[in-house]
């Protein structure tokens, strides 16, 4: 009888980098497995890092995007956002921002001002999510998903109860609040020490598991620890997670977008010609400008 457990392709350690002047990042993707994680393109894990008190917030200053979506999940601290499509706000623990760059915009992500003044710990994850060619030039959009708006289902397996937050897609009969351009599931799984959980996902979806924190045994054979990414096959629906300590796992599952991929810096398109047009449009100011830069 064939197994129902997915094949494990690889466990990837992230490379460290600095983004802007305020984000100490570990990034396990993009990399050699990018096609096997489509529609997910990039994962940046900021922190946990100490933010020293200051009256001058740090972060990622205005920069352009076109042709994809950014998804930011905050675990600790507060982040402020604004963009040239007219969206602004801040995110705190448990909140998720789902931004569609679409035809193009400038945006800025900074440590929230009051959080900067008092200092504290900052931890967040940002994903880049591809969209189909027909949606590359959609109007920019902004989904502010507060912690209270994200449903969850319980996870049993020890004396303590864990939970799985459903950010996007449908899992366990629960549908997350995020609108997506292609079929995908994004879960924020909080799993207690001693628990053993089986995730059942569409067998033809690409699946990646990112251990935000903790120690997880995948399918009873492969250990994965804090800041490691597990890339799985598409040969079966199930993934088994056994936790030797309290763990948080970000589950990325999606129907692959089987189209040409052309990327350059902050732009994700389908052809080199489209990339050149994105660069030209950005340089000519067609993606907007903040009033304090005029």
Mark out the alpha helices in 2-131 (DSSP H runs): 113-118
Whole-number Å distance between alpha carbons of 159 and 148: 25
% helix / strand / coil in the chain, to the nearest 5? 10, 55, 35
73 to each of 164, 167, 169, 278, how far by Cα in Å?
14, 10, 16, 27
38 CB neighbour count, 10 Å cutoff: 20
- List 229's β-bridge partners, or say none: 12, 210
Give pLDDT, residue 31.
Answer: 72
Give pLDDT, residue 1.
Answer: 37
The C-alpha angle with vertex 174 and arms to 151 and 42, in degrees rounded to 5, equals 75
Give per-10-residue mean pLDDT for the chain (294 aa).
Answer: 80 92 92 84 96 96 96 98 93 97 96 97 98 97 96 75 95 97 98 95 96 97 97 93 96 96 94 97 93 62
Give pLDDT, residue 25.
Answer: 96
Give pLDDT, residue 32.
Answer: 67
| Nearest alpha-carbon partner for 278 in 292, 291, 260, 265 | 265
Phi, psi of 157 (to 5 degrees): 150, -5
Give pLDDT, residue 294.
Answer: 43
Give pLDDT, residue 44.
Answer: 97
Q: How far is CA 279 from the centre of its chain?
A: 24
């Amino acid at each position: 009888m064939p197994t129902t457990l997915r094949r494990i392709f690889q466990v990837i350690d992230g490379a460290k980098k600095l983004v802007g002047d305020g984000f100490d990042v570990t990034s396990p993707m993009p990399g050699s497995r990018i096609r096997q994680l489509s529609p997910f393109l990039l994962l940046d894990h900021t922190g946990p890092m100490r933010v020293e008190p200051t009256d001058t917030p740090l972060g990622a200053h205005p920069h352009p995007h076109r042709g994809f979506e950014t998804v930011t999940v905050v675990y600790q601290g507060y982040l402020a956002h604004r963009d040239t499509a007219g969206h602004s706000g801040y995110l705190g623990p448990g909140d998720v921002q789902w931004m569609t760059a679409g035809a193009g915009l400038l945006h800025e992500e900074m440590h929230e001002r009051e959080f900067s003044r008092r200092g504290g710990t900052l931890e967040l994850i940002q994903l880049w999510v591809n969209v189909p060619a027909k949606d590359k030039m959609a109007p920019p959009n902004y989904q502010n998903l507060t912690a209270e708006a994200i449903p969850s289902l319980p996870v049993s397996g020890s004396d303590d109860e864990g939970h799985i937050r459903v950010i996007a897609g449908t899992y366990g009969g629960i549908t997350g609040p995020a609108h997506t351009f292609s079929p995908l599931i994004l879960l924020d799984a909080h799993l207690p020490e001693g628990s053993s959980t089986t995730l059942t996902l569409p067998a033809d979806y690409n699946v990646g598991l990112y251990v935000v924190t903790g120690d997880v045994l995948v399918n009873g054979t492969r250990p994965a620890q804090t800041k490691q990414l597990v890339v799985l096959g598409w040969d079966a629906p199930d993934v088994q997670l056994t936790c030797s300590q309290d763990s948080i796992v970000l589950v990325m599952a999606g129907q692959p977008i089987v189209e040409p991929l052309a990327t350059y810096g902050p732009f994700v398109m389908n052809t080199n010609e489209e990339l050149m047009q994105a660069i030209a449009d950005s340089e000519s100011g067609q993606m907007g400008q903040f009033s304090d830069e005029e």
